[in-house]
Structure 1
């Protein structure tokens, strides 16, 4: 969280299943920033539409 504008506004994440070409949308509409909104840089997102019992695990890497 450094530099001129370190925060990110996350509108949504789109994930495409490469086998079925189905696109899953995970809306957020929140800031990922230590100086905006609720000052959080991690979010728990849920798919917009039913996913037929599928589970999603999206892992990020924290960089120093």
Structure 2
């Protein structure tokens, strides 16, 4: 008794689908990490600017 060819096709489809899901998940995590890092850099720059402005105000006043 042999296995029909469509069963092989379904198994291959499932394997390819799983690999693509893993690949997409990794890419999304990397993109999310890059976005978080950029937002953190922007936030830190804003804090530095605000600290500088406060120091200027303290020196003048």
More strand by share: 1
If you compute each CA radius of gyration, which structure gives the higher value, 1 or 2? 2
TM-score interval for Structure 1 and Structure 2 normalised by the shorter chain: under 0.3
More helix by share: 2
What is the TM-score when the length of structure 1 is the normalising length?
A: 0.15
What is the TM-score when the length of structure 2 is the normalising length?
A: 0.15
